[in-house]
Amino acid sequence: MLRMSWTKSESTGELRARCRGRTLSRAVNNEAATMNPSLSPAGRQYVRRWQFPSGTTVTIRPIRPEDQNKMMAFHQTLSLESVYLRYAGILGLSERITHDRLSRLCFIAHGREMALVAETDGAESMAPEIIAVGRLSRLAGTRDGEYSMLVTDRYQRQGLGSEISRRLLDVAHDWRLERIVADVLPQNGTMQRVLRTLGFRLQADGGSVRAIKLLPQ
């Protein structure tokens, strides 16, 4: 499980090379944004094309209300271990894919919450699929936010979670948030390594690990 708060007191259109993947050219990103007409102008600035070290390319974009079926399929790909690490317990598939829950999660109120998904291009024999989702929610009446990240097992440990985290850091800067705090299960070593790479300080905090990062203003 990973839960972050972005707060004054508490809770990832640029060209940038990545050590385990890369953001594609500005022209490619602009094309990807125009191919998502259902996104609001505020949402289109967060559309990016990104390439795995293997060469597979995905689109990172804000979630849309019509993504419910894709999110249902996404949850069906998750192992019990991934579910446990994300939710600090076993949240059954039937609970995760209810119509009401998916409707709520696929609708975002821009300025108050942002969910970025990574979507494959698909092929002649396969439709595009969502393979990861990261979410940032502003807490009402504060400069706090809450963050979560989940990547399907097949695409874990290849840099995608780090890239979506960087995109959500861009959102946090746009919202003028000041600090990020993450609570991670002690056995989630992969996420702890990602957080250290992103500049977090980690410390034991009871039954979890607390990660803290100050955002430059």
Three-state DSSP class for residue 75? helix
72 alpha carbon, distance to own chain's centre? 17
Encoding tokens for residue 81?
Answer: 């271990």
For the chain, residues with pLDDT lower than 50 are 4-20, 25, 27, 32, 34, 37
CB contact at 8 A, 118 and 59: yes
pLDDT at 17: 31
Q: % helix / strand / coil in the chain, to the nearest 5?
A: 35, 30, 40
Which tokens in the block code for residue 217?
């203003």
pLDDT at 148: 83
**By the 8 A CB rule, do 70 and 129 touch?**
yes
Amino acid present at 215:
L
- Model pTM greater than 0.95? no
Contacts 24+ apart (CB under 8 A), 31-39: 32/59, 32/61, 36/61, 36/64, 38/64, 38/66, 39/64
Could you tell me how far CA 11 lies from the centroid of its own chain? 16
Q: Which two tokens stand for residue 119?
A: 């979507």
* Count of beta carbons in the 10 Å neighbourhood of residue 123: 8
pLDDT at residue number 88 = 82
Cβ(61)–Cβ(116) below 8 Å? yes
Place of tokens 């109120």: 109
| Exposure letters 143-180 (e unless 16+ CB within 10 A, then b) | bbbbbbbbbbeebbebbbbbbbbbbbbbbbeebebbbb
Domains in the chain with CATH codes? 20-178 (3.40.630.30)
Closest by CA to 153, choosing from 80, 104, 211, is 80
Which pLDDT score is estimated for 205?
84
Answer for the pair 5, 181: CB distance below 8 angstroms, yes or no.
yes
Looking at residue 18, its pLDDT comes to 36
| Residue 101 to residues 71, 107, 135, Cα–Cα distance (Å) | 11, 10, 15
Joined tokens for residue 191: 């996420």
pLDDT score recorded for residue 103: 94
Whether the Cβ atoms of residue 6 and residue 178 lie closer than 8 Å to each other: yes
Task: Provide the pLDDT for residue 13.
Answer: 31
The SS3 of residue 55 is: coil
Residues in the chain: 217
